[in-house]
Structure 1
């Protein structure tokens, strides 16, 4: 089913359920029913259109010309359906806005002005309906006369609204706006004003839309379109898999059959080069062969062997943002903060900073998706002469002709056995089951069509994972695959709501990593989430995300230590298909064609503008009709952002406004006029305040102002009762945002992050038991009792951050073990803290800083069954740490930072920390030696040391040389850590900002590129 039809039906269903006027509800129900009728024919038409559009069609001869013409006719029919659905949807949304304006107006005069919205203006509801009626009438006559689809009997049975009637309706509705009002109309225009003619107009719109759809259904019958002739989406939208287990299975299969290539690349990266010039390694291959996946596996396993490293995705041409990404990666790998003005830095400044950081360093850089030699030369010009750099390039073109390319590898297609293993594991994500011989035969034929391309095999496997192990269904898939490309086949198998989600994800810039939670909140705001009786919208959105990942329509980018997918991406082949389909189905519009030339889309409803779009002159963008937009996504690098923001009041149908890295420090007050807005994303902008008109956004669900300069929210936000996610400040920073609103009115609130604590806030929290994420700062001892009483009631809480105010010491008075708590961050001294944490058996991530504990935290927390990360930063004032056997059974990352009194770590006992992958020790000046047994941990991949005594570093090198795990040792100077001394008299605890960047870096590296199975030896490879 075409995306616009699915979106319209969901809007109609929502509108009908909230409509109080029975007659209007009947009209809307009539439209809904006729669009429901076309769905099965539309499925057949879309598939036949895909057969015509597919790039895999071959051997087209003269005998097939008639068939091609038929496909073209069907394609035009689908476009007509999409265009009609899009236009009807815009009218429905405009009607929703009209009702909102009318219902939220207070005084009689306000209601008068609100009613005028219906009857005057360039882009009002009445104007849109009149345009629809007039155009629809003309189209109907021309199509009937030209094609003869309707018989004379059908013509007589259809009552059309004449042009004279249309004009009379317009004349009546526009009377109030005329200065000279005829006397014979004075008695009737009050009725027109307060809704009589609006109901009549909506009725005529409903009748005309219904007849248009009936005509199109008649055309479907004349084109011999049939009902449901191909593979349909499974009855259940989500496979019955454990999500983390499925994620692990996908990771394990991502480089299946590529161990030889991975080993070769790793060996090249480890070669000690005599030359000082950068060593270039190219990875080439056809689209979908797995170049990025292989590079990610190598980068993940080898980055610890370098002083610094970075990953940058290259776009169509070199831009300043590419150097910014390289610099960000370098600084992050060195635990250093990026400059706040990095987005405003020019090429010369970026090159200078990159060179200064890389002098004398071993540097690993991955440039993914390089298209031209110029792109590499652009980055190379920023590297210093005395830098031992290894550069890994991936490209769909052959880069071996480059004179400075020392190593090159071309990725071949999978062997038949590896291809079969990949398909089998993607079909059976939970476990490998027995395949009946008839299914196996079909699988072999499917693999023959896929020709060893991993992307095709994995995506088809995702489709088959939703099917029964029956010959009939697999035969249909094989037959369809033999006719068309795998991408439209797998897309056609998606439910309508998943199609919208997939197309929306493709709006993000090419190669960008998309935060999963943010994308899910955008889907919810757009109405792309299928409601489930026993789930919240967020839980349903997460399941939809997982299904798209399992089906391989969206790929995992970063995965947490606990196996949860944190970020995702849409690969180039999938994105190109999605953008093309979006254009065809009127879902979204691109401003650039494949050659980079400017386009003039007809009327975009979902528009994304990024660095790529900056090449389009603003004068060309001004020509677009943007008044019908539902989503406006302004990404980093789009240089015309300020001009868009000044005209935001004209985008009254917006549900989503996402702005990244805006340089101006305020928003226009007209933002409050966006009555339908559900998502307002302002993260990373330079904003210092929000307009007072924000209180008018009564439908707002998500407000994200993290990493801005905003410290106070405006008063009067109690009307925003639909808020679900309030993201105010980061968890590791010392900044909070003051909130004076009575937060107990936000009954649906699930996320409250970065709020400064007051007595009113602590009391209000008691009324928010649905919270899943809570981050509070500036906590004082006087808040302890009320705060922890409120926290005790939050049985759904998954993430908790508590940051004490300076010089404050609070008491942990909680007795509730919070059974669902997975992530805990504590900044500051809290009494009885360890005794409470010991009870948190679901805890996976624990960050403690400035806690000044006297009791050994490792000894106290060693038996937490789910803990995968433990980070201690100025958290322990003792001299010794120790733990027993079988301690920290799941721990993968341990960081001990600035524990200045720590001297000893007793021996590592058998069975303890058996899964530890990364150990970080920094600025512990009295820590004399590492524990015995550390080198025997076979799982250990990296030991990172910063600002430690020379004899400690020497011992670390000795352990590395004799270790059986062959872990990498990274020694670096972290100037931000060593810069702080105890020279400040009376300062009892460290400022949080001193370690905010380091703590954030630790957290972000826990969800890096997907971790791949570690190769035990070359024989296994």
Structure 2
């Protein structure tokens, strides 16, 4: 994690220089510039040798990482001292029962400490130069050895031998792969006569090689092809070894052939394939470059030849097969998992009845990964058939597999080892979340940015860099897509439990983060807190004095708490983490905004749940980028006008925010507040007036949410040039004049409206937006009996969701929505039908409806039948139960308890409704 540590240190130095209050910087410009130069040189070294696993490189990487961590501690501690002392907050007592933490370093001279940092990096730079020179010499020697192997036999005097050929012998287990086998075999033996590349893609251990081997050994496939050859690549394969390995299937490799040059070997291979219908399996290819270096070997004689490529990387598959689709391996379902589990453990015998339920649980907890199932059955075959042993395995499945099976660790470790250096920290970070956790992508990206380990790529901002990293990890089948939004973007993601276990183990070894939970992953003496600390929501876990010490907590940069017990949290507060950057404890409800947070002047990310107003002293948090505050009771949270003194803010996300008078009254002093140039998200804001002076304070906002209790009639026609996503919730009807001002942003792609009670004739306001792709209309957002769209509107609209309306007649045809892909109609009880012509839209893929209108159901079925009769098999019609829209209660915890108390006094009302069958009314 040396790369992430150095990038993080560079971010820290940049933020120090960029802060407008330069007097808060205790270091000299020339000192910082000198350190910048050294750090950039170290980054170049780390990126060049990111795939090098030699002992010398690993040793210097550890030194770079530790030096960067130490430098960051010293620099941020001095800045913290300076900010708190000048603000008058240093040494003050907290109003809570827990004393404020103590700074982790002594009051030493900042310049002396900085010179020590530079001296340490000077020493490391000298060692880096020596290691780089050594690696160049090793590379030269390797090249000479490789050249010498061209004139000696592969087996003999040189000691250089051909890698063993892993040609399949006998079929492997096909449980769960039957349909995959059929599909791939059909693609091999049928279809176009031209050469086709068929990639098989999926995460490590999902069964790519097993499927390829079963297809390769299939008797019909063997009969169909004249020649078959199989080669398994390593991530660092040599072209010569590839040539010889393939030729070994085709000709008798003599000593003379082994002496030939690479060019002659390649030509011999090509000629032996020429004119023959061949099947080549290239197992486990890791890069586009690797494919490009070999694709010229395979002639295309239009005779039905095929190449199977297995890979973990979707981008490699896409590059190799530009004209054909890849075969994506899916996880097994529960029944397939159980069948594989049972067959591996019991063969043809039945599972003992008393073990079947716990056995099914174990199989289910493997989450569809065949590798997990195969390995866990091997483990269970050694522990016997005692139920308590099986229950222990069920509770500790992932950790047991990782601990006791070297093969599993080796397979999964390859995926991490061969990640580009800039992706390693992003991947490891997935381990801070609990098992089976669905991670909102917006939250993950904000956390990655706040952590500081993303290297900037100008002119892109860090959010875009984070999105690209996420997509790369998804392409490598390391991160799983859980849900997509109406705009097609990924809303949430996750990670398989075995990969998560891998993340935690590597992260612990690298001092990257530590996880605390009911089930310890490491022995107590190793479980020291590291740069990042994640506390999971195990109810029985409580930190002990051995767990928490000043030394263990003083260097923590991130505190991610998914628990619910405030007493646990106070134990950590007591010892303090004054150098925190990330504080995420949104799962815990607090009664007030904690004073302790205001001492954490290095914070970049806050996510909390509390009944509170944000104090003016929040301006002490000079580097804050993201502020997330949730209120479980739906009461507006008051923001201070000092919020405009925080120019680093990028995202303000409040469940419902009450803005200060500064938003409605022009500033008397234009220099009093900064323009929030970096602000991209502002949601949800109560009664935001879209006036000129307000919009000038946030010119680059991209995502905005507004809740209106009142109607603001006087508005300015001011364009939000960067606005892409807009959500407006009305408590009373609005007018078209107001809407015309709101929707004048030229880049708007997604709009959500609730309870506006707007007439359908005003829909033309939205239809005229040139880039609108998604439109959600909830709870009588529009009202009226008839909607007649106008030609030329909604040119790019892909997603339309209408949830609850009194609309009766929708007079539309396919020209009104030329790009529509997904239509959802819920609680449209008065709607007579879906326009028949909607089914004729070429891009339409899904119509989703409930049963609130049987005539709409009938029209949807008619549209589907009509399209199927015309040969359109791509359209889906999905029928769902009628949904009730649930909103949070508008009263607090105390009021809820009072209500419940009165219900207890009268458990049965006149209608016979009892407490046992009361519906759930609170969405959490």
> Shorter-chain TM-score: which interval?
0.5 to 0.7
Choose the corresponding residue for 2:557, options 627, 630, 652: 630
CA shift for structure 1 position 770: 1.1
Change beyond 3 A, Cα 1:936–1:697:
same
CA shift for structure 1 position 778: 1.6
1:24 aligns with 2:16: no
Check conservation: 1:44, 1:228, Cα contact below 8 A.
Answer: no
Specify the SS of the correspondent of 2:763.
Answer: helix
Change beyond 3 A, Cα 1:87–1:37:
same
Q: Distance in 2 between matches of 1:910 and 1:714?
A: 48
Q: Distance in 2 between matches of 1:260 and 1:907?
A: 36
In the TM superposition, what whole-angstrom CA distance separates every residue of 1:491-518 from its partner, at most 9, and x where no partner exists? Answer: 5665554333333233222332222222
Check conservation: 2:757, 2:783, Cα contact below 8 A.
Answer: yes
Q: Distance in 2 between matches of 1:757 and 1:818?
A: 19
Change beyond 3 A, Cα 1:922–1:895:
farther
1:778 aligns with 2:697: no
Partner of 1:560: 485
Partner of 1:870: 800
Choose the corresponding residue for 1:742, options 662, 666, 673: 662
1:526 aligns with 2:443: no
Check conservation: 2:74, 2:105, Cα contact below 8 A.
Answer: no
Check conservation: 2:820, 2:841, Cα contact below 8 A.
Answer: no
Check conservation: 2:101, 2:574, Cα contact below 8 A.
Answer: no
Choose the corresponding residue for 1:260, options 179, 182, 201: 179
Check conservation: 2:649, 2:676, Cα contact below 8 A.
Answer: yes
Specify the SS of the correspondent of 1:796.
Answer: coil
Choose the corresponding residue for 1:503, options 411, 428, 441: 428
1:655 aligns with 2:587: no
Q: Where in structure 2 are the equivalents of 1:15-54 lying within 5 Å? A: 15=16, 24-36=28-40, 38=42, 47=51, 49=53
Instruction: Tell which has more relative contact order, 1 or 2 (C-alpha 8 A, sep 6+).
Output: 1
In the TM superposition, what whole-angstrom CA distance separates every residue of 1:139-180 from its partner, at most 9, and x where no partner exists? Answer: xxxxxxxxxxxxxxxxxxxxxxxxxxxxxxxxxx6xxxxxxx
Partner of 2:624: 700
Partner of 2:246: none
Partner of 2:746: 819
Partner of 1:830: 758
CA shift for structure 1 position 906: 5.0
Specify the SS of the correspondent of 1:582.
Answer: helix
Partner of 2:117: 206
Check conservation: 1:718, 1:742, Cα contact below 8 A.
Answer: no
Q: Distance in 1 between matches of 2:447 and 2:844?
A: 36
Specify the SS of the correspondent of 2:800.
Answer: strand
Partner of 2:474: 549
Q: Where in structure 2 are the equivalents of 1:52-451 lying within 5 Å? A: 71=55, 75-101=58-84, 105=87, 124=103, 127=106, 198-202=109-113, 204-206=115-117, 208-210=119-121, 212-213=123-124, 216-217=127-128, 220=131, 260=179, 288-289=205-206, 427=288, 436-438=295-297
Check conservation: 2:6, 2:39, Cα contact below 8 A.
Answer: yes
Partner of 2:5: 4
Q: Where in structure 2 are the equivalents of 1:868-1017 lying within 5 Å? A: 868-877=798-807, 879-908=808-837, 911-912=840-841, 915-924=844-853, 930=859, 933-936=862-865, 970=879, 972=881, 974=883
Q: Distance in 1 between matches of 2:283 and 2:59?
A: 41
Q: Distance in 1 between matches of 2:110 and 2:843?
A: 71
Choose the corresponding residue for 1:608, options 534, 542, 551: 534
Change beyond 3 A, Cα 1:809–1:14:
closer
1:579 aligns with 2:507: no
Check conservation: 1:678, 1:699, Cα contact below 8 A.
Answer: yes
Check conservation: 2:636, 2:686, Cα contact below 8 A.
Answer: no
Choose the corresponding residue for 1:726, options 648, 652, 655: 652
Check conservation: 1:632, 1:654, Cα contact below 8 A.
Answer: yes
Choose the corresponding residue for 1:711, options 627, 633, 636: 636
Check conservation: 1:31, 1:209, Cα contact below 8 A.
Answer: no
Specify the SS of the correspondent of 1:895.
Answer: strand
Q: Distance in 2 between matches of 1:439 and 1:105?
A: 71
Q: Distance in 2 between matches of 1:590 and 1:614?
A: 15
Q: Where in structure 2 are the equivalents of 1:463-474 lying within 5 Å? A: none
Change beyond 3 A, Cα 1:804–1:541:
same
Q: Distance in 2 between matches of 1:687 and 1:801?
A: 23
CA shift for structure 1 position 926: 8.4
CA shift for structure 1 position 289: 0.6
Change beyond 3 A, Cα 1:630–1:585:
same
Specify the SS of the correspondent of 2:578.
Answer: coil
Check conservation: 2:7, 2:453, Cα contact below 8 A.
Answer: no
Change beyond 3 A, Cα 1:678–1:691:
same
CA shift for structure 1 position 582: 2.4
Q: Distance in 1 between matches of 2:204 and 2:133?
A: 40
Change beyond 3 A, Cα 1:23–1:679:
closer
Specify the SS of the correspondent of 1:754.
Answer: strand
CA shift for structure 1 position 596: 6.1
In the TM superposition, what whole-angstrom CA distance separates every residue of 1:349-390 from its partner, at most 9, and x where no partner exists? Answer: xxxxxxxxxxxxxxxxxxxxxxxxxxxxxxxxxxxxxxxxxx
Specify the SS of the correspondent of 1:92.
Answer: helix
Partner of 1:674: 600
Check conservation: 2:834, 2:860, Cα contact below 8 A.
Answer: yes
CA shift for structure 1 position 757: 0.6
Q: Distance in 1 between matches of 2:81 and 2:710?
A: 47
CA shift for structure 1 position 727: 1.0
Q: Distance in 2 between matches of 1:559 and 1:222?
A: 48
Alignment: residue pair count: 654
Q: Where in structure 2 are the equivalents of 1:757-796 lying within 5 Å? A: 757=687, 759=689, 764-778=694-708, 780-781=710-711, 783-786=712-715, 789-790=717-718, 793-796=719-722
Specify the SS of the correspondent of 1:661.
Answer: strand
1:801 aligns with 2:727: yes
CA shift for structure 1 position 633: 0.8
Check conservation: 2:847, 2:878, Cα contact below 8 A.
Answer: no
- The TM-score, its normalising length taken from structure 1, stands at 0.54
Q: Distance in 2 between matches of 1:905 and 1:590?
A: 52
Check conservation: 1:608, 1:632, Cα contact below 8 A.
Answer: yes
Check conservation: 1:516, 1:566, Cα contact below 8 A.
Answer: yes
Change beyond 3 A, Cα 1:670–1:286:
closer
CA shift for structure 1 position 963: 12
Change beyond 3 A, Cα 1:871–1:616:
same
Specify the SS of the correspondent of 1:704.
Answer: strand
Q: Distance in 2 between matches of 1:588 and 1:859?
A: 55
Q: Distance in 1 between matches of 2:574 and 2:140?
A: 47
In the TM superposition, what whole-angstrom CA distance separates every residue of 1:568-607 from its partner, at most 9, and x where no partner exists? Answer: 2233454344333323332223447985654544451111
In the TM superposition, what whole-angstrom CA distance separates every residue of 1:40-62 from its partner, at most 9, and x where no partner exists? Answer: 6656876454x7xxxxxxxxxxx
1:751 aligns with 2:610: no
Specify the SS of the correspondent of 1:737.
Answer: strand
Change beyond 3 A, Cα 1:606–1:881:
same
Check conservation: 2:849, 2:878, Cα contact below 8 A.
Answer: no
In the TM superposition, what whole-angstrom CA distance separates every residue of 1:495-549 from its partner, at most 9, and x where no partner exists? Answer: 5543333332332223322222222112222223333443333233323333333
5+ residue gaps, structure 1: 52-70, 115-120, 128-172, 174-196, 232-256, 265-284, 295-415, 442-446, 466-481, 730-735, 941-961, 978-996, 1005-1021
Check conservation: 1:690, 1:714, Cα contact below 8 A.
Answer: yes
CA shift for structure 1 position 626: 0.8
